[in-house]
Amino acid sequence: MQVIIDKKKIEAKKNETILAVAQRVGIDIPYLSFNPELRGKGGDRVALVEVKGESKLMSAETTKVREGMIIFTNSSKVQRFRRLNLELIFASHIEKCADCTLRFNCRLLELARLQQIKISEFSDRKALRKTYRFSTAVEIDGTQCIDCGNCIEACALQGINFLQFTGKGYQQELKPTNDKSRVCIHCGQCTNVCPVAAAQEQLEWPQVEKVLADKTKIVVAQFAPAARVSIGEEFGMKQGTDCTKKINTALKELGFAYSFDINFGADITTMIEAEELLQRLKNKKNLPLFTSCCPAWVTYAESYYPELLPHLTTARSPHIHSAGAIKTYFAKKKGLDRRQIKVVSIVPCTAKKQEAVRTELYYQKEPLVDYVLTVREFAFMLKKRQIDLARLKESETEPLFNDGSGAAAIYGASGGVMESALRTALFLNSTKEKKISNDFRLDFKELRLNKNIKEAEIMLGKRKLRLAVINGIANFHYILPHLNKYHYIEVMACPGGCLGGGGQPLPNTKEIKEARRKALYQIDKDKKIRRAHENKAMLTYYNWVKTNKLEAKLLHTKYFSRKRT
């Protein structure tokens, strides 16, 4: 069908919204809370258009095109009321711009500037609203919320349904649900869709800045598999650029003493998990084995299905491993005092902030990971210091450890953890002759598919292994009644895995996630070493732990029921 937008004739498809048509042909309709991954709600009344024949202005987000529709995107009427609605929204959002990680890409500020609105036209009305904090991971600041409801929808899409609106009109408030059996799993998907950073990670960059300035501390950083392929987006780089070596340089510029790669820790996780898989298959105990490197999944299991906890691998998650290696082995080799070392993890995840303070992961009564920054926080710190990642030279990771195998890189993608463990399990399970021939399957493409639930069967020796990958926690309940069918199950709470994590740069759309995914598998493909057990530096550390009988203190973890009724 044909429509006319701003006097231009445009071909449109049935069921397309006015906004979708306009975006497709490059006509800019300003919008605020619209998110292409969510249902168009049209509540903020910013994306307004005038449609000939309609007495009221229409929302371009929700109004579908009709044959012959004549649309004006910037008439004086549109301008007048768009501006007024923006002024009203501003007055329901207390600006905390100075410390806001969204500052450098805030749509609200951008709109205020472009639409020339008066920020202080009305007095702030939400000064007394509460901030809800969920563990140490995520928060929702009621003084900043603009009532768009995106977070509620994101949480519902995860199947968690932890958030709700209470009250109505000006008294409407976003709150955790009254249903005490619901638990926030800290996945941070709400923070990915909040247009004004009211739902966001609990910020730790201010503490990191402080500790970096403390000359008595040795502050080191380590960054996650999925962080390297997303951070470039914050600096205008092509989607899916591998920034590993630039991150090393950036960390030095910020004043970190050493830069480490969590991929090293991922290889440790793989090693333990592969061994555990073989052990459990042999003993026929606690099968299926579940992965456990996704802390949101761990909280989910602890809160909703504690009966499954014995099935989770006891292997610690990658950044806890590498932090353990840094604070023990590395400190010893370098002659450093462990208590002076502060480890900062840079991750695409909000739930890791909660994982880091789990006391069962402490070493000699102190956390191994001292601070957790999301990729967004890290980018913010760089921008604040006017460090342009894109222009930085490349440099290497601290050489005592390394940047891991190819198998570690794909930890950032759904299916990647399982694929890594299988590569190593196939090797460990084989005969001497086979090991010498080194002819093993490396690619498990059926685990890489862009599906919510992936199933596969592979041969491990003479045994047929049945596998499942849960891509997005909302899909877990589909598989729950059939758990006995499987030997090994990977669960990632965020759709896409860590590359779609709650701490990733925004926007976090399907297209962008796909670019990050491709980049991770490219890193894997280009690596000389593509299996964890071939990582010699990792094996050296692994054996050191065993020699010193530190397995329980450094390699394994425990889980606890947190079920609420």
Partner 1 sequence: MTNLALIKKIEESGLTGRGGGSFSVAKKWQLVKKNLKGNNPGYIIINGAEGEPEVKKDGYLLAQETESVIAGVYYAFLYLGKKNVKAIYFYLNPIYFKKYRARIEKVLKNSLYKELAKKVIFYKKSEESGYIGGEESVVINIISGKKAQPNQRPPFPVEIGLFEKPTLINNVETFYNIALIATGVYDNKRLYTLAGACRHKGVYNLPATMSIADVLQATDNYPDFPFFVIAGGGVCGEVLDENQLLAGVEGSGLIMIFDHRQTDYDKLLNYWLRFYKNQSCGLCTPCREGSYRLHELAKEKKIKEEKFIDLLDNLEQSTFCALGSSLTYTVKSYLENIYFKYKKYD
Query: In the complex, which residues of this chain contact partner 1 (CB under 8 A)?
Result: 41-46, 48, 56-57, 59, 62-64, 77, 80-81, 84-85, 88-89, 91-92, 121-122, 125, 147, 165, 167-172
Report phi then psi at 59, rounded to 5.
-85, 125
Neighbours of 218 (CB within 10 A): 20
CA distance 323 to 159: 32
Looking at the Cβ atoms of 9 and 168, the one nearer to partner 1 is 168
Looking at the Cβ atoms of 35 and 303, the one nearer to partner 1 is 35
Report phi then psi at 50, rounded to 5.
-100, 130
Cβ at position 110, least distance to partner 1 in Å: 18
Cβ at position 19, least distance to partner 1 in Å: 13
Looking at the Cβ atoms of 47 and 183, the one nearer to partner 1 is 47
Name the residue among 501, 500, 431 with its Cα closest to residue 461: 431
Looking at the Cβ atoms of 89 and 277, the one nearer to partner 1 is 89
Report phi then psi at 536, rounded to 5.
-65, -40
Cβ at position 175, least distance to partner 1 in Å: 13
Looking at the Cβ atoms of 168 and 365, the one nearer to partner 1 is 168
Looking at the Cβ atoms of 43 and 255, the one nearer to partner 1 is 43
Cβ at position 63, least distance to partner 1 in Å: 7
N-term to C-term CA, the chain: 54
The amino acid at residue 438 is N
Cβ at position 368, least distance to partner 1 in Å: 44
| Residue 213 tokens, joined | 């300035």
CA distance 346 to 222: 6
Buried b (16+ CB within 10 A) or exposed e, 134-146: bbbbbbbbbbbbb
| Residue 148 tokens, joined | 């768009």
Looking at the Cβ atoms of 168 and 284, the one nearer to partner 1 is 168
302 and 501 in contact (C-beta within 8 Å)?
no
Between vectors from CA 138 to CA 387 and to CA 324, what angle results, nearest 5°? 70
Cβ at position 168, least distance to partner 1 in Å: 5
Cβ at position 98, least distance to partner 1 in Å: 25
CA distance 510 to 20: 16
Looking at the Cβ atoms of 34 and 371, the one nearer to partner 1 is 34
- Strands 58-59 and 371-374, bridge-based pairing: unpaired
Looking at the Cβ atoms of 43 and 461, the one nearer to partner 1 is 43
Name the residue among 258, 261, 228, 223 with its Cα closest to residue 244: 228
Cβ at position 124, least distance to partner 1 in Å: 12
Cβ at position 497, least distance to partner 1 in Å: 32
218 and 341 in contact (C-beta within 8 Å)?
yes
